[in-house]
Structure 1
Amino acid sequence: MQLLSSGLIIQASIGGLHGGDILFSLVSFLVLLALLKKFAWGPIMNTMQKRENHIANEIETAEKNRVDAEKASREANEQLKATRQEAQQIIEDAKKAGQEQERSIIEAANQAATRIKKSAEEDIAREKEKAVEALQAQVATLSVQIATKVIEKEIDAKDQEQLISDYIKKIGEEQ
């Protein structure tokens, strides 16, 4: 027995197992577990739940922001497309207005040229008539002078005016 008891002591000094130690360790572990559950597990779980909710909210917010950004991007692209079309239409309208104004200016210039030409033709006709009248007056004067020299006092002034008048009418009919 001495061998047996000396073997137990040797085993205990080497790290042998004793029933009381096992029971004390087990009870201490259970008490520690209960204390951890009461004081640490709840707050840890609350913190983990809050963190999980926070992350879920962040993911939801990020997804909402992504959807909003995509929507804003589509709207911006649509607005840009509409603006480009509007700008293209303004350019087309400006080109048409420029062409119309060009036609209007050319037409006004042609009308002005026609008026100037007509006015010049009328001026020429008036000047021609004045020249013809002046020529007729000179011809009449010359005719009177020639006739006076030829006839030399055979015709009186009244007959002379009648001759001149007939001569002028004859010249006017020839033209």
Structure 2
Amino acid sequence: MEFIADIQWGNALYQLVIFSLLIWVVSRWALKPLLGVMKKREQQVNDNLDNAEKNRVEAEQYLEQQREELKKAREETQAMLDNATKMSEQQGKEILDNAKEEADRIKEAAVSDINREKEQALESVRDQVASLSVAIATKVIEKELDENEQEKLIDSYLKEVGNE
């Protein structure tokens, strides 16, 4: 109890008033601006976090969009390649068909020419045989020859015609 008796109450009251006044001054002029700065900093950090999240979401969306566009471009490229392959196969088939038709046409024309030439040659041979037969018959009739002489005459006439 002696300790309580030694306290100077006036001095303690004075210190209490000064301390309260100091708390009030600090809270009024120093604490509010300090809290304001801390609040601004907290808001800035929150805004930065929100912006970072927003940017991350946008980046993911952009990445997904780029993946879709790449996939679409690959599909278009594959479709173009498939179309080009089909067109080249079709053109190759058309070229082969045209070449076959042309070869058939040329073959038919050649066969026709050969047949025509053959007919002309046969006709010419027939005419020559007929004229030869008539000439031989005329000579045979003009001369009454025996069989040996007739064969000699025919052979000589055939040689004569063969030389012409």
* TM-score, normalised with respect to structure 2: 0.70
Matched, 1:149 2:139: yes
Matched, 1:125 2:111: no
Q: Which residue of 1 aligns with 2:45?
A: 55
Q: Which amino acid aligns with 1:59?
A: L
Q: Which residue of 2 aligns with 1:41?
A: 31
Q: Which moved more, 1:86-95 or 1:45-54?
A: 86-95
Quote the Cα distance in structure 2 between the aligned partners of 1:17 and 1:107: 126
Quote the Cα distance in structure 1 between the aligned partners of 2:104 and 2:8: 135
Q: Looking at both structures, which has the greater relative contact order when contacts are Cα pairs under 8 Å and sequence separation is at least 6?
A: 1
Q: Which residue of 1 aligns with 2:103?
A: 113
Quote the Cα distance in structure 2 between the aligned partners of 1:97 and 1:103: 10
Q: Alignment identity in percent?
A: 42
| Structure 1 residues without counterparts, runs of 5 or longer | 1-15, 154-175
Structural mapping, 1:75-114, within 5 Å: 75-114=65-104
| Structure 2 residues without counterparts, runs of 5 or longer | 1-5, 144-164
SS of the residue corresponding to residue 22 of structure 2 reads helix
Quote the Cα distance in structure 1 between the aligned partners of 2:127 and 2:12: 163
Q: Which moved more, 1:115-124 or 1:23-32?
A: 23-32
Quote the Cα distance in structure 1 between the aligned partners of 2:82 and 2:113: 46
Quote the Cα distance in structure 1 between the aligned partners of 2:81 and 2:113: 47
SS of the residue corresponding to residue 131 of structure 1 reads helix
Equivalent pairs counted in the alignment come to: 140
For 2:20, which of 27, 30, 37 is the aligned residue?
30
Instruction: Please report the RMSD computed on the Cα atoms of aligned residues, expressed in angstroms.
Output: 2.6
